[in-house]
Amino acid sequence: MQCVTSLTMSEPVPIEDISGVKSFDELVFERVLNDIPESRMIFCVCEVRDKPGKAVVQIIKQHMTESECKKLFTSQPASFQTLVHHNHKYYSFFSWCDPSLNQLTVKVIYPASDYDIKKYAPQDRAMVRETPEDYRNITMPYIETIPRSRIGWIDNILDGQAEADKILCQDEDPVTGFVVAPDTKWDGRTPESIYLLGIARARTIPTLRDLQPEHHAMLLKMRESTQAVLFEKFGVPADHIFGYVHYLPSFYHFHVHFVHIARPMASAAANHAIPLDDVIDNLARNPEYYREVSLTMVIGAENPLYERYGKKAPEPIVMPNTTDTPDANESPKPTHTASV
């Protein structure tokens, strides 16, 4: 097993070496796909100039580091442009600052398939209680229809064809081995926003339910090595890292998420994810545990499993018309003036 204890994020790849979309100038805005204010991100669908197909573009306001924050007060102080709120000693302003302090992270999927577009669109979701029989008869047959090419980026990492310089930990064993690398959600520099993916080397484990007895050792090694490298490099103790497994996962190759508990999404993830510690303990008590229990999962309406489990999207709620003219015999309602 190999762990990197002096992780440095790789140098940016020169734009001219990229074969895909290279700038906003190449994109023609079509529509907003999803807007998530609390995460400071927005998803758009765009056409690509002089090229076929469409692109999904994710735009994220980047986290500001301490050194960047200091620049606001030293190099070129930003002015408070617009007063938004004032009450007693509390003030809120809109402000413009040096463009170098207001960077965006832009992620592009091109060419984007219908699956990519649907994946990032808002959709109804429903909870399903899946039995082991349901998994064998409904879920697994669907998983088997998904082409491996959909997760070609996973194979590129496992085969050393992509992101080799970003790997933190890896074990080469074909059965119990794994790779741990930064997720694109992490900026690679802020400990409190750590987000890693631990990816099994075995390509025969679509989900949690397919873990075999020998994979217990894989999970132990993955947890311990990830905790060790994060403490060595960033000084983050093990009890500040939350490891968990999604069920259903977002893609069908077994993987573990490792996030700093300070991430805003960490507490939310705990509500619909299975902690890695629990997975390890359950497999230690019963190697067949996840093959024998029923599991609750959340399925989006754009997932083919939604219909396979008999779910139907609810009809839109029509709000009553509140602008109708009141009955002539009805007494007028009193008007209240708010105190200032």
Tokens of residue 166, six digits: 């970003």
Residue 225 burial (C-beta neighbours within 10 Å; 0-12, 13-18, 19+)? buried
Q: What is the DSSP string of 167-184?
A: --EEE--TTT-EEEEE-T
Note if 255 is an active site residue: yes
Alpha-carbon distances, residue 311 vs 96, 123, 134, 188, 294 (angstroms) = 47, 13, 14, 40, 18
What phi and psi, each to the nearest 5 degrees, are found at residue 204? -115, 20
From 255, 257, 272, 336, active-site residue: 255
First to last CA, the chain: 68
- CA–CA separation, 228 and 4 (whole Å): 10
H helix or E strand, kind and range, residue 226: helix 215-234
| Rounded Cα–Cα distance for residues 295 and 277 (Å) | 17
Task: Indicate the residue type of 11.
Answer: E
- Residue owning tokens 């056409």: 47
Structural contact between residues 52 and 111, judged by C-beta atoms closer than 8 angstroms? yes
- For 124-147, give the secondary structure using H, E and C: CEEEEEECHHHHHHHHHHHHCCCC
Q: Which residue numbers are catalytic?
A: 255
